Structure 1
Amino acid sequence: MLAAPLAIVALAYGSALVTGLTLQKRAVDFFDPAQGGGSMFDNATFGGEPLNVIISGQSDPEVLTDDGIANFAKAIGFSKECLGFHLGAPQTANLGDGNGSVNQTIEFRQDFGNDVLGTCLESLVGGNHFRVFRQNGPQANSGALFLAASKEEPASQNHDIIPDGYNIGRDELVASAVGTKSHGGITYNVVAKNITGLMPAGSEGVNHGIAVDGIVTLLTVTIQK
């Protein structure tokens, strides 16, 4: 009789495991989407964008909630979109977790040090941004966050991805995250590990035909107590 109410509580906490009111750390970093019929590329307009950064399911569970990833994003220089408005349709991804193809959870843009209006500048002049997808379905419930990071052109260039923009977007995001970062009274310690073999290298099927190097970076984020 406890399972159903507990599942409802878990959903309320961004699908982190919950015992009573305590979020519990997951047992795995992530599950390979391909093993469940999914992909390490989302579905974009002209092909797929690489899910080139993963925030491990073994990160502190508070980080993996919607509010948690929003605060962590601010700590590393990203905020929600300009004044809360999203231009264009959300992208979808299948993480092989049994949920099928689902819309991105949220999108963040580089905020240039201003977490209120900085993303408006990014929308105008271009910069880094990332989309978030959560792996929380019944077949692969890691709680991990899969990020599609890329660096884009300014609005005058229709926000197209810059040359090599997927690799650059990943590398700049990781560089901004690794180490000790703080925001909103929370301090994060972040370590990174590059993984090969999850994603093919090359440009076949990639949005805008921009090649990727096949590297996915795993971030493990812990909160300093």
Structure 2
Amino acid sequence: MARPLALLVAVSAHLAWTAQVPLANGGVAFYDPGDHGGSMLDNAGDGLGEPLNVIISGLSSPEVLTYDGLINYARAIDFSTECFNIHLGNPMTADLGDGRGPTNQTVELRQDYDNAGVGTCLESLVGGNHFRVWQQNGSLANSGAMFLAVSKEEPATENHDIIPDGYNLGRDALVASAVGNRTRHGVKYQTTAVDVTGLMPAGSTGINHGIAVDGIVSVLTVRIAE
């Protein structure tokens, strides 16, 4: 049986945490994909992957853990859908160890520079943060958590390659934008974060572009305020 990794209450935005603690109410933040042959790297091709370095906890408000709910939350933290909803390239896959095997990303979102309408077009030109999303909801590990592959990329003139240290920097920028109170279309979000170690190794082995990661996964709990 997969080990539930439950999110602890944080008194600050970031706390290192490696414990595995079941919750009395039976809910879990997420399951370790490795328990059923999954991975904390997506499939970027050639045996390489990008780190799933942010998780939106399954303990978040249920409304957040849907496609529409995620989009609204993303816009509250300055991300939006791709420029004119045009996506170049094939969808990426990831195996979250939930029994479904490799699955296509749910959506890809880009920094919108405070303009949900055309801001992602600017990101496509000048670069910035972006992330892909997969949901852990198969029969073997049905946490409902959203796993995000977050990175900061170069401008179009550099073929959108990841900047040096772009996985760590992208993750940190997203978390900084998310933590605290945010509002979008009348929905008020309260987000806390903790840092988890032990899900993925530090270093560059198996990482796309050979860019090293620090091995930290940031777990966000997003609650909709009444």
- State the TM-score, normalizing by the size of structure 2: 0.88
How many equivalent residue pairs?
A: 201
1:10-159 aligned within 5 A:
27-45=27-45, 47-159=48-160
Q: Kindly indicate whether structure 1 or structure 2 has the higher relative contact order, using CA contacts under 8 Å at least 6 residues apart.
A: 2
Gaps of 5+ in 2: 1-24
Shift of 1:168: 0.3
Q: Deviations over 1:95-118 (max 9, x none)?
A: 000000000000100000000100
Which whole-Å CA distance do the structure 2 matches of 1:38 and 1:45 have between them?
16
Q: What SS does structure 2 have at the residue aligned with 1:173?
A: helix
Of Structure 1 and Structure 2, the greater helix share is in 1
Any conservation in 2 of the 1:26–1:142 contact (CA below 8 Å)?
no
Partner amino acid for 2:27?
A
Q: Displacement of 1:26 after TM fit?
A: 7.5
The question of whether the paired residues in 2 share the 8 Å contact of 1:26 and 1:57 is answered with: no
- Answer yes or no: is the 8 Å Cα contact 1:54–1:218 preserved in 2: yes
1:171 aligns with 2:172: yes
- Per the alignment, in what secondary structure is the counterpart of residue 219 of structure 1? strand
Report the Cα distance in structure 1 between the residues aligned to 2:53 and 2:43, rounded to whole angstroms: 14
CA drift of 1:45 comes to 3.5
Q: How far apart are the structure 1 equivalents of 2:185 and 2:90?
A: 30
* Cα displacement (A) at 1:217: 0.3
Tell me, in whole angstroms, the C-alpha distance in 2 between the residues paired with 1:223 and 1:203.
Answer: 37
1:220 equivalent in alignment to 2:192? no
Question: What's the Cα RMSD here?
Answer: 1.0
How far, CA to CA, are the matches of 1:203 and 1:124 in structure 2?
A: 27
Name the SS for the 1:133 alignment partner. Answer: strand
Which consecutive segments of 4 or more residues in structure 1 shift more than 3 A?
Answer: none
Higher deviation after alignment, 45-54 or 31-40? 45-54
CA distance in structure 2 between the aligned counterparts of 1:89 and 1:157, rounded to whole angstroms? 19
Deviation string 1:133-173 (CA, Å, 9 cap, x unpaired) is 00000100000000000000000000000000000000000
Query: Which amino acid is the alignment partner of residue 199 of structure 2?
Result: L
What code does the residue aligned with 1:191 have?
A: T
